[in-house]
């Protein structure tokens, strides 16, 4: 177990319920307690409906209408901030699975990015544009000016996801939340985006929480893993330990069902993305 100073975020007994579709209320997270060690990449796995998305959304106050969230305690950087929530934002930003639904189709990439830069970094329009350009360079987009002037649908899927990550970086998060950020992409692009997230973690001392259904992704890019089932965390720990010696029967089932790990080297950060914006649907 990490010591206090190594822990960025600690959440005790998070419970969330939502209005049920047929009346009543549905508990989607139950007594969820976890620590996010600073500077690590943490994978969240578990079957569909187990509450992975709700867990990320509850950290950003992005729950559906009518949701009720409660927790015993939230500790950020060693400080108990429970009483300041929900008014206070956690220093977190989210990368969604499908950037097409997160970008306004009528607003150019530059418009999205400068808006976030202005709001979060309290700068004027001119400086925001410079910061937006820098963020696109940070996500290894080779021609940032061109991409700034593009509409979301004019970019390839991989470029759009890079732009979404750039937008998240402009909020200057310490904690980057990513909900299945590569599921919509083909395998090659997926590996590039994962390598990028890993590289950004190191360059910017980020802490990353990444939801995935792919245990291969966890093995390749995550340091730690949280295993969820039915709105609860059933197992957590360093990936090596959990994969070698799963303790919970559900984790054992998950690992047994996963295809054998491919005999491939881990994806490496690729400073020169091979794809080009606006071409194909990669």
Ligand X SMILES: Nc1ncnc2c1ncn2[C@@H]1O[C@H](COP(=O)(O)OP(=O)(O)OP(=O)(O)O)[C@@H](O)[C@H]1O
Q: Give the residues lining the site for ligand X (CB under 6 A).
A: 18, 21, 26, 28, 46, 48-54, 64, 213
Report which DSSP code applies to 128: H
Query: Least distance from C-beta 67 to ligand X, angstroms?
Result: 8
Paired residues of 94 in beta bridges: 177
Which among Mg ion, ligand X, none contacts residue 280 (Cβ within 5 to 8 A by kind)? none
Which among Mg ion, ligand X, none contacts residue 124 (Cβ within 5 to 8 A by kind)? none
> Which H helix or E strand runs over 14?
strand 7-19
In the complex with ligand X, which residue's Cβ is closer, 35 or 212? Answer: 212
In the complex with Mg ion, which residue's Cβ is closer, 53 or 201? Answer: 53
Which among Mg ion, ligand X, none contacts residue 58 (Cβ within 5 to 8 A by kind)? none
Query: Least distance from C-beta 18 to Mg ion, angstroms?
Result: 14
Query: Least distance from C-beta 52 to Mg ion, angstroms?
Result: 5
94 contacts 62 by C-beta, under 8 angstroms = yes
Kind of pairing between the strands at 92-95 and 68-70: unpaired
The piece of 10-18, 49-57, 126-134, 238-246 that touches Mg ion (CB under 5 A) is 49-57
The piece of 46-54, 83-91, 145-153, 154-162 that touches Mg ion (CB under 5 A) is 46-54
Which among Mg ion, ligand X, none contacts residue 28 (Cβ within 5 to 8 A by kind)? ligand X
Max intra-chain CA distance, the chain: 55
Paired tokens of 68: 């009720």
Query: Least distance from C-beta 178 to ligand X, angstroms?
Result: 12
The stretches of the chain forming alpha helices (DSSP H) are 52-60, 99-102, 109-121, 125-138, 144-148, 157-169, 187-204, 215-221, 239-244, 249-257
Query: Least distance from C-beta 21 to ligand X, angstroms?
Result: 6
63 contacts 125 by C-beta, under 8 angstroms = no
Residue 24, class by beta-carbon neighbours within 10 Å (0-12 exposed, 13-18 middle, 19+ buried)? Answer: exposed
Which among Mg ion, ligand X, none contacts residue 108 (Cβ within 5 to 8 A by kind)? none
Which among Mg ion, ligand X, none contacts residue 66 (Cβ within 5 to 8 A by kind)? none
Query: Least distance from C-beta 53 to Mg ion, angstroms?
Result: 3
- Whole-angstrom distance, CA of residue 6 vs CA of residue 236: 16
Please identify which residue in 35, 50, 53, 58 interacts with Mg ion, judged by CB under 5 A. 53
Torsion sign across C-alpha atoms 235, 239, 240, 244: positive
Given the rule CB under 5 A, which residues bind Mg ion? 53
């Amino acid at each position: 177990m990490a010591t206090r100073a190594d822990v960025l975020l600690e959440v005790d007994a998070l419970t969330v319920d939502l209005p049920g579709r047929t009346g009543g209320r549905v508990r989607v997270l139950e007594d969820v307690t976890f620590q996010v060690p600073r500077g690590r990449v943490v994978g969240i796995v578990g079957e569909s409906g187990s509450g992975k998305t709700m867990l990320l959304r509850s950290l950003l106050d992005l729950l559906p209408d009518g949701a009720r969230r409660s927790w015993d305690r939230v500790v950020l950087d060693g400080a108990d901030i429970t009483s300041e929530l929900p008014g206070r934002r956690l220093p977190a930003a989210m990368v969604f699975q499908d950037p097409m639904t997160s970008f306004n189709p009528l607003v150019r990439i530059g418009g999205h990015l400068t808006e976030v830069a202005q709001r979060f970094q309290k700068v004027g329009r001119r400086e925001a544009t410079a910061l937006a350009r820098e963020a696109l360079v940070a996500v290894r987009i080779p021609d940032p000016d061109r991409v700034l002037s593009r509409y979301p649908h004019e970019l390839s899927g991989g470029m759009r996801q890079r732009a979404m990550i750039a937008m998240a970086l402009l909020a200057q998060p310490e904690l980057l939340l990513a909900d299945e950020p590569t599921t919509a992409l083909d395998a090659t692009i997926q590996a590039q985006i994962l390598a990028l997230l890993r590289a950004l973690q190191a360059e910017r001392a980020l802490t990353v929480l990444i939801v995935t259904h792919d245990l291969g992704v966890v093995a390749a890019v995550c340091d730690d893993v949280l295993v969820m089932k039915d709105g609860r965390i059933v197992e957590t720990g360093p990936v090596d330990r959990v994969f070698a010696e799963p303790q919970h029967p559900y984790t054992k089932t998950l690992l047994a069902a996963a295809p054998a790990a491919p005999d491939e080297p881990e994806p490496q950060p690729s400073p020169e993305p091979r794809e080009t914006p606006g071409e194909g649907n990669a």
